[in-house]
Amino acid sequence: MAETEALLAAPVLDGSGRRVLVTGCGGLLGSKLLAALTTQPNWVALGTGRQLQRDPRLPPVPYFPCELRDGTAVARVVAEAAPDVVIHTAAMTDVDGCERDPEAAWALNVGVAEHLARACAAVGALLIHLSTEYVFDGQRGPYRENDPPNPLSVYGRTKLVSEQRVAALCPRWLVARTTVLFGYAPTARPNFALWLLDRLRRGETCRVVADQIGSPTLADNLAAMLLALIVAGAEGVVHTVGATRISRLGFARLLAEAFGFAPERVQPISTAELRQPAPRPLNAGLLTERYEALCPTVPPWPLPMAIDYLRADLARATP
């Protein structure tokens, strides 16, 4: 455990006094970014979210309440915060929810990105926009940054258009595509890993799709990768995912075994059997050669190491 934590914390990523505003700072990735920014040297961490006040469980950083769908409010908050970098983690990520309510998905995923791109352009800030492997159709994964996108769902289409709008509206931009984000944060909604572990602890047998392949990504590792990209001066599209490409079933069984449950309690099911509203890219996953060339000292983590860190994180959180 100690070796895993030491590897995640190294190397030192000096912020050189950069001011970084994190949208969605109470979510899983947002809270991990605030933690990284306040423990690494010479960063000024700033947070924004819908809540009127910062959640006291988050690091004590300057907080700017903002309704991100309001372009005037976004411009005002970005001007007041005066960031060098904005990391945009807030989004409508419920894939089936986007399919059911495309109007909300376009407003939250495209409209908000446009507001932030214009606001960052006005103050000269770098906008780091989080995106997804769902911009691809999952026919020929894993994918490189320059592979042609072909989203299958409303969610995927909104994220692809948001990438394009950020690039068109903001002179300094970076799109960081990721997928299957997991980890623990007290202020964040449960993710796939925590959902699975909760059901296993309650003695249930879980059914998990065997035909969806991706690159599970520990939020702590992703936060470190994003800071490394800032230090490296990176721009453009970069894939930022964990180092292991695996089926969702394989991921679930590794989690079960690592936490002391019989892997056989996780049973396979096909995506078609679930009859979900939104189609999924099946043979997906992202390749990280570009990221690794830019930031060789902060590598993507193999899944067993990431799960080991999650175990330590959950142990620290348990009284």
Residues 6+ apart with CB under 8 A from 272: none
Residues 6+ apart with CB under 8 A from 122: 75, 78, 79
Active-site residue 155, yes or no? yes
Residue of 134, 155, 184, 291 marked catalytic: 155
Q: How many other C-beta atoms are found inside a 10 Å radius of the C-beta of residue 12?
A: 10
Query: To 5 degrees, how large is the angle CA 41–CA 47–CA 52?
Result: 150
Under a CB-based contact definition with an 8 Å cutoff, are residues 113 and 162 in contact? yes
Closest CA to 286 of 205, 198, 222: 222
Residues 6+ apart with CB under 8 A from 59: 34, 35, 37, 38, 45
Q: DSSP strand E in the chain: where?
A: 18-23, 43-49, 63-65, 85-88, 126-132, 173-178, 181-182, 206-209, 213-214, 217-218, 236-239, 246-247, 266-269
**173-178 and 126-132 beta bridge pairing:** parallel
CA distance 250 to 227: 29
Closest CA to 87 of 114, 56, 120, 110: 120
Q: HSE-up of 111 (CA within 13 Å, CB side)? A: 14
Q: What's the gap between Cα 195 and its chain centre? A: 17
Q: Which residues are catalytic?
A: 155
